[in-house]
């Protein structure tokens, strides 16, 4: 359906995923199999679902995968907020990531609306 590499939302989600991987290096080692693993998995899920949906044969399928990506995005935002609440990283390090999450959320909503 679409060449996912050309989608602005996919590219922005990739940047966000890269930044999440960088910030996860700051987290305590005892979170390796907890929060670090979880935040990385849901981060990868967002651009992956956008790409998978773009490769599907119908708008309906694309919308379905954008919806999954949206859910993973909300999960990642929650995890980033948790990092702040638990003081696992400096608040200033998480806020730019939350801003990118907000941008991706708006882009996802606009893309879904345009496909309907």
User: pLDDT tens digits, residue range 10-65?
Assistant: 999 999 999 999 999 988 888 878 888 999 999 999 999 999 999 998 999 999 99
Are 103 and 76 spatial neighbours (Cβ–Cβ below 8 Å)?
no
Of the candidates 56, 73, 53, 51, which has an alpha carbon nearest to the alpha carbon of residue 65?
A: 53
Question: Residues near 6 by Cβ (< 8 Å), separated by ≥ 6?
Answer: none
Are 47 and 66 spatial neighbours (Cβ–Cβ below 8 Å)?
no
- Write down the pTM of the prediction: 0.91
Are 49 and 69 spatial neighbours (Cβ–Cβ below 8 Å)?
yes
64-114 pLDDT per residue, tens:
999 999 999 999 999 999 998 999 988 788 999 999 999 999 999 999 999
More confident residue, 116 or 14: 14
Backbone angles phi, psi at 57, to 5 degrees: -90, -5
């Amino acid at each position: 359906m679409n060449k996912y590499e050309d989608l602005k939302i996919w590219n922005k989600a990739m940047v966000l995923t890269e930044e999440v991987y960088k910030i996860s290096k700051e987290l305590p080692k005892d979170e390796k199999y907890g929060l670090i693993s979880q935040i990385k998995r849901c981060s990868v899920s967002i651009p992956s679902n956008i790409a998978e949906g773009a490769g599907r044969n119908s708008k309906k399928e694309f919308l379905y995968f954008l919806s999954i990506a949206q859910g993973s995005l909300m999960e990642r935002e929650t995890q980033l907020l948790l990092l702040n609440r638990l003081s696992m990283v400096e608040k200033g390090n998480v806020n730019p990531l939350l801003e990118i999450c907000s941008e991706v959320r708006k882009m996802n909503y606009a893309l879904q609306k345009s496909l309907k």
